[in-house]
Every structure is written in structure tokens, then in C-alpha cells.
A and B are shown apart, each in its own frame.
Chain A
């Protein structure tokens, strides 16, 4: 890996304003989702666990892992815009072996994804603290425990960003890639969750693995209670992390192998 090329990718990322708007979007939605979960829990029907319980805190933090779509999108755009604007051409002219460029891109976007994760985690922490203050209840989990949960959100966002880069390398056309990513992560996961027989694969999909990692079972439980289906057990957090790491590796393989082999026309 060439550190110089990683710096170039970071420089490209900050050279337009998109990073600011996406980070802002993530921050606002993360803070908002947690506040809504926290403040509305006492009044919701069916009742949600309050943030003065361990489960309630876990649900509030777990919901933000769903926002990994935002950094995943950033990863998709980071890769596809190289093709859309043909900036991949000068990059490959400068480094005709190509793989150093794409490896640097994946490394840079892992760092960038972790950055988005940190932004989300900070907003979640602040929003949890604020909600507890407003409701005048103690949080149902201690600071180290919450920090551990937030770390998992950061991990999930890192991996989703890498998956985004991989999908971008695979599909190249920006809007198609966004549709593929959104469809795979949000539609397919949820649909498969409620198809009997097929839903046994859910724990191994990115969404299921993320739910395992963040110990966030709300979606599966709700799907179960609405459909009356037996829900597959989620993996253990460690196994969820391993599955996510597998997706990250697959994304890296796709992101490196395809651009290196294909013609740039």
C-alpha cells in the first residue's frame, strides 16, 4: 500500500462539499432517531423499552446502525464518480499498475467510513444524554457499556462504506449502483427476513450481521410478531463481526480486481 495514494484519496474526498452535507445529514438523523426513540418510548404502542433500561439504550443505539446507508452511499459515490467523471483515467495513467490506486481508495474509505461512524456515535451519545436529562431518568447502561455499543456502530459503518466502494466498482454507473446498494441492504434484507424458510439466511446478510454485532433484535422481533413466523436466531456479536469482516474483504476483492482488469474506455 502506498500512503501517498491514500492521502490523494482523502484529498479527493475533501475537494468537494459533499462530505459536509452527508456528515451533517448523518448527524441530524442519528441525533433525531435516538431522541425520538428515547422521548417517545414511554408513549409508544406497542411499548418500546425506555432508555432507563439496558434494552432501551441498546435499541436506541442499534437503530443508528441502520443509518450505515449514509456512509455506504458515500463509498458508492466515491468509486462511481471516478467513472462518471472519468477521473479514473488520469489516475490509471499516473499509476498504470492500477491496484495501488484502488487499494488506496478502499483503505481511505475505510478511514472515512470510520469517521462517519464517529460522527454518528458522538451524536447518539449526546442525544441519549439529552433525552435522559429531559425525561429526568438515569440511562439504563453505564458509560463504558454505551461506549462499547457505539464502537460497534463505528465498525458497522466502516464495513458498509467498504461495501459501498465494492458495489461501486462492480456496477460503475452511479444511480444503478445506489439502487443496487439500497436494494440489497434495505429491501432484500427485510424481505428475506419475512420469507419462511429463506429467512434462515438473514443472520448472514449484512443487516442480520450488523444486528448481531450491535445486539439489536427489534427488527427481527417485530417481523416475527407481525407475521407469526419463527425468526432465525441472530449470530453472536463476535460472529456477526466476523461475517461483516467477510463482506468487507469481498468488497475489497471486487474493488481491486475488477478495475484492474477491465478496459478504461
Chain B
């Protein structure tokens, strides 16, 4: 599929909630055709960053743009960027199909897309059931289906592997890879390195609202000390312990 690539750019982004500095002077980019992992422990500002990027939260400073524009100024937002946020953005009494139909109509997207995205995410059989009966994994699939309604060039996914079993994670990996191979820009957040390690091409690591690293997995770990250790070192206040002691503890 031919797509003109759309780049996500975050520049000096800062967001304060009262006294809490959720995001501080964060900058990174995510380009088309690759899967960019957005990594950091809980509370490090990932969700806030993504919500700023999607125009849901107003930044205190800096900017976050998609194809050079703030989300709110995109001519056709859902056809440009699809998003999946927390595990539930649906009314518990509505069916998955009703949720998608409502979203289609809200965005002015043809209703025929509903069956398409249900098929893509393997939700067809559950589509007519109320979402209150959905497992966490099904909710994540419905979130993905919602994100795909506009067949967007950019996908912004907040912790999409949360609640998925290993088979679900493997499915998601293949799914995201296909989307990226089609030339889409895929930005995926996670607080668990091992869940995305095999999925992503590049990573942006945040800690306490600040960017602490950005690059390909190889660039992040030039010495080959192991991504896990690099990640832990980047996302803690104390310098890493000597390798011997760490492995000693793991042996127990």
C-alpha cells in the first residue's frame, strides 16, 4: 500500500497538573514505517504525553504535532491518526458494534468500516455483545478497532499489550508489524520492556516526565550489557549495581 508518511514530533513538551510536573521538556520523533516504543515506568508521563499529542490535554509548554500540525487542526483527524487509550472508553451497556457505529457517525466515516475493523481485530463474533462482558484483551482489541476506523496513517497506542495473554501479545506484534510495513507511523507505549522488546524498532525512554534516551534498540545498548539492565539504569535514580552482584541475586 502506498502511503505518504506522517511523522509525529514532540518538541519541548511540558505539562503540569497543579504542582505535579507530569511531563518536562520532552522531545522526540516517531516516523513512518517503523514501530516506535514509548517506554517508561508507571507515572513517568507517557499517557499525559500521548493525550497532549491527541489534543485531549492542553500542554503547559512546547508542542506535539502530527504531520506538522497539532491534532486539533488536522483536517480529518481520525483518517490521519487513530488512537487507543485506556482499556475502556466505551459504555458498558453498548455493544462493541454500537460503539464503533457511533464513532463512525461522529467522525463522518462510512459505516461499512465497522465490519472491516471488527474483522481485522478478530472481534466479529463478540461484536453484538455488551462491552461490560468483554475481557481486558477484547477491550484492547475494540480499542484497536476504534483506532483503525479511519484507516489512519498514524497509530498512537497507549499500553495496548496491557491485559493481553502471551498469545495476544504475539498476535499484536504481528498486527503492528503489518501496519508499520504498510508505511504507517506506529507509536506504542509500555511500562514493561519485555512486552515490546521484540515488537519495536526504536524506543523513546522517559523517566519522571523527562526523555532519557531515544534510538534504535542497538543504539540504546552499544556495549551489549542487555536491554533490561539499560532500561533499569535509565529509569532509576541510583546508578546500576555492578553486574556480578545483580546476577548473583538472580541466581538465588
Query: Does B94 make an interface contact (CB < 8 A)?
Result: yes
Which one of A17, A90, A263 has the greatest number of beta carbons of chain B within 10 Å? A90
Give me the 7 closest cross-chain CB pairs, A-B, nearest first.
Answer: A94-B107, A96-B72, A16-B93, A264-B56, A94-B106, A263-B57, A96-B55
Alpha-carbon separation in the docked complex, A92 to B85 (Å): 13
Q: Are B78 and A94 in contact (CB under 8 A)?
A: yes
A237 to chain B, nearest CB (A): 39
A108 to chain B, nearest CB (A): 13
Alpha-carbon separation in the docked complex, A188 to B77 (Å): 45
Dominant secondary structure at the A interface: helix
Alpha-carbon separation in the docked complex, A16 to B91 (Å): 9
**Residues of B near any A CB (own CB < 8 A):** 17, 48, 51, 54-58, 71-72, 74, 77-78, 83, 85-86, 88-94, 98, 101-103, 105-108, 146
**Residues of A near any B CB (own CB < 8 A):** 4-5, 7-8, 11-12, 15-18, 81, 85-87, 89-97, 101, 263-265
Number of A-B contacts (CB under 8 A): 79
Q: Are B78 and A97 in contact (CB under 8 A)?
A: no
Q: Are B146 and A265 in contact (CB under 8 A)?
A: no
If the complex has contacts A93-B77, A265-B56, are A87 and B72 also in contact, measured as CB distance less than 8 A?
A: no
Q: Cβ of A90: which chain B residues have Cβ within 8 Å of it?
A: 89, 103, 106, 146
Q: Cβ of A96: which chain B residues have Cβ within 8 Å of it?
A: 55, 71-72, 74, 77
Q: Are B102 and A264 in contact (CB under 8 A)?
A: no
Alpha-carbon separation in the docked complex, A94 to B98 (Å): 16
Alpha-carbon separation in the docked complex, A28 to B160 (Å): 47
A15 to chain B, nearest CB (A): 5
Q: Are B90 and A87 in contact (CB under 8 A)?
A: yes
B26 to chain A, nearest CB (A): 17
